[in-house]
Amino acid sequence: MKISDTVVGAGFVTAGALIIAGTLNYPTLDAGHPGPSLFPRILGGLMAVFGGLVSIKGLRNRDTTEDVEWLLLYKNTAFINAMVVLVGVLAYILFVEKLGFLVMGALLLFVIMWRLKVSPVKALIVAVVFNTIVHFLFAKIMRVPLPLGILWW
């Protein structure tokens, strides 16, 4: 997902400005010397300057390359698969405590493999077996309290 340097640079200018704005109410040290605000302000400033330079360079090179066809994204398999991963991990975070790792982990693995064109039967077997191994490794050997949810083991 490449967008033009002009836009990327402008994004960093905004981010730099927001960082500086965020420090405006920070307390100062004795005698008015800057304390917590000094480092973030320098960073925000540098980010804005470098962002500005990237933007100017983009304008000079007439870099308007946008390899994203925004209106055709719904047809772009790579994009959809990436979204499936993002939504999948979010769903995992939201539901894993209720459903448990054994269910939610296997489900996430299955859905992604299915999206990547692994045959459903193979995907199901790999998802369940691999997820159980991960569970055993982390929950049993390393004692990580993975949520048990509806299945207990």
Partner 1 sequence: MIDHIWTALVMLSSWNLMLTITICSIYGLFVGAVPGLTATMAAALLVPFTFFMDPLPALVAIVTMEAMAIFAGDIPAALVRIPGTPSSAAYTDDSYELTKQGKAELVLGVDVITSAIGGLMGAVVLMTSAPLLAEVALKFTSFEYFWLAALGLSATVMIASSDPLKAGLALFVGLFFSTVGLDITLGYPRFTFGSTELLNGVDFIPAMIGLFGVSEILRNMGSSHLQYPITAVKAEKIFSGVAKTLWKYKLNMVRAGGIGVFIGILPGAGADIAAWIAYAASKRFSKEPELYGKGAIEPIVDAGTANNACLAGDWVPALVFGIPGDSITAIVIGVLFMKGLRPGPMIFQQQPELVYAVYISFIIANILMVPFGYLAIKVSGTMLKVPRNILMPAILMFCIVGSFAINNAFFDVGLMLAMGILGYFFENNGIPVAPIVLGMVLGPIVEQNFMVSMIKSEWDLTQFFTRPTAAILGLLTILTWVAPFLPTIVRRLRGGNAPA
Q: Which residues bind partner 1 (CB under 8 A)?
A: 1-3, 5, 8, 12, 16, 19, 22-23, 26-27, 29, 33, 35-36, 38-40, 43-44, 46-47, 50-51, 53-54, 57, 77-78, 81-82, 85-86, 89-90, 92-93, 96-97, 101, 105, 108-109, 112-113, 116-118, 126-127, 130-131, 134, 138, 142-146
Q: What does the block give as tokens for 46?
A: 């540098």
Q: Which of 89, 150 has the CB closer to partner 1? A: 89
Least separation in angstroms between CB 56 and partner 1: 10
As beta bridge partners, residue 34 has 28
- The Cα 15–Cα 10 span in angstroms is 9
Q: Which of 105, 110, 89, 107 is nearest to 147 (CA)?
A: 105
Q: Which helix (H) or strand (E) holds 30?
A: none
